[in-house]
Structure 1
Amino acid sequence: MFNGLPSYDVMLAATVFFGTLAILLIARMVLARQLRRLSTLSHFDFLAYPLQIVMATRLGFMIAAALLAGLDQLALSPRQERFVNYAWIVVLVAQVALWANRVITVAAERAFERQRLANPSAATHLMLAGLVGRIILWSLAVLVVLDNLGFNITTLMASLGIGGIAVALAVQNILGDIFSSVSIALDKPFVIGDFIVVDSYMGTVEYVGMKTTRLRSLGGEQIVISNNELLKNRIRNYKRMQERRVQFEFGIAHDTQEDQVRALPQLLRAIIASPELNARFDRAHFKGYGESALLYEVVYYVLDPDYNKYMDIQQHINLELLRELRARGVVFARPTRVLYLNQSAPRAQAAMGE
């Protein structure tokens, strides 16, 4: 007899304890070795996550599991059995939480390394997302343990909910900016270095923080916009523009010869389709009649998003068009107005006076 327990039961419990511990230790060692070897191969790099799960299996968990397995072999009182069951719940939930915590940590670190050089601000947000994920994980683990231990968590959840609402109302603007920064990091409507236009503001993105985004305007000043307000507006990202559509108009004098009026669209096609220009001609039409001009409308595409490149192409088109029109004797329209005076009225008045 040992403490009121049969020696056979104690020996069986000890055997189960050492056997279970040995099995767990050997299984962790073998699995870790195999997963580490396979994860180095390019086709099995996804095994890095199972490897992290195996490595997160703690020695304390294995000892506790082996001890509880041994205690299950003993004839315990109902109260002792209840405590053993509670211990199983705590140990298993804690180990599962450690596994999930390790997966979240590794995923966040790998994503951080991928984004660190390309987009440092997004990398910071990924680490924040990992921290939030771990906080939620451990909160759920604690609630699961308390619920299985017989505690009434309904009141606790209600209290936490009311407290959370009060805190959220107090810091809603700050939370709105933080969640908006996470949305920017995940959705990536822009990254550092992009030229964007937001409402009436435009500039190059210099920094995306937890609360604000900072732009460097064309004038040189820094524009600071809160993330929440930023996402409420339409954002135009010119850095991601593949090509630029350009439309311009011009007018020539009304007394231009018909054959010259008819030839201008083909002339514009030849100018814009020139191999030296990185542009694609779309259309050119004699649009209609203005007060003092014959109006033309021209549309083409610049095959480069750079604004300076677009201006160089437009300048080239303007100069070539000016040269060709002068060579053909065609003049641009000028605002003119012709007044017709009635000369017969003064003569009639003079005749009546005689």
Structure 2
Amino acid sequence: MDDFSEEIEDIDLIEEDEVEAEAIPGELYEHFRVIVDKGQALIRVDKYLFERIVNASRNRIQQAADAGCVMANGRPVKSNYRVKPFDIITVMMDRPRYENEIVPEDIPINIVYEDQDLMVVNKPAGMVVHPGHGNYHGTLVNAIAWHLKDNPEYDANDPQVGLVHRIDKDTSGLLLVAKTSDAKTNLGLQFFNKTTKRKYNALVWGTVEENEGRIEGNIARNPKDRMQMAFFTDPNIGKHAVTHYHVLERIGYVTLVECVLETGRTHQIRVHMKHIGHVLFNDARYGGHDILKGTHFSKYKQFVNNCFDICPRQALHAMTLGFVHPRTGEEMLFQSELPEDMTLLLDKWRGYISNRELE
């Protein structure tokens, strides 16, 4: 896999590991197979497959045939091939079949912007981005597949279209979706070349002393806990990662910061902020669901537990997304308001600190 592919694969990966088989160069993989009934009348193979393959457009099947991926009795055939009784019809691709085919599901999604090439979606916290490991349904990808089910050019199971980057299940905010392969290639290159604009708001434990800073250090799987990522100074371990941060507001024992990603690694903000001693508020995976700063009074402990209930996930929101439109060349910039749980959380902390100052 080349550097470009690795970079795009690693951008903002979701928490749940997705284990997919790697393609072997020159190898073909069977995606569909059927033995034609003995009573089948002569029919074009593209029409025959269209009636049998769920969520596949006739145009997409014709493209597969033109590429030599549709076979009858082990030999490639064109779209106008007439299927005969007892033919063995297969669809062969140059990539392994997904373990879990993406099925369109009627799930509401917040579409901020959409045109013929792309969509910008505002994902709520708690929604898994892509099916995998216990989350095979109800994901954002399933919802997008439903929204675009009548678009003959969009195949939810084709990796050449779809999400350009990802965010964790319990992170809210803006995501970019490519509706065409050309758009995904163009937008993917923008992420690879680090020309996109991505800003996150995060509430972290402790008082961040410096008004702004830069965190640089490789990120790799934590050898002691494979569900975590970890910070490494050894350049031979993990992948290079850079996060810039800027303090927006100091609120007693927590700080609201804006984080700007220069790279896009798994759990990057969560790992980098922990490295400098400021774990994200209520980030259970990295210890932020414990009371890390403050007093030992029971009243304070009750207050923090109430805060955990208000925002029952890591307080992280993908606020800003900017890129160049792949077709028009126009600079596109989108802003997302803080979700209600984070807004209520901040207001509760502000109220608590104000009351303490009056005492």
TM bin (shorter chain): under 0.3
Which has the larger strand fraction?
2
Q: In terms of Rg, which structure is larger?
A: 1
- Larger RCO of the pair (alpha carbons < 8 Å, separation 6+): 2
How high is the TM-score relative to the length of structure 2?
A: 0.27
TM-score between both structures, scaled by the size of structure 1: 0.27
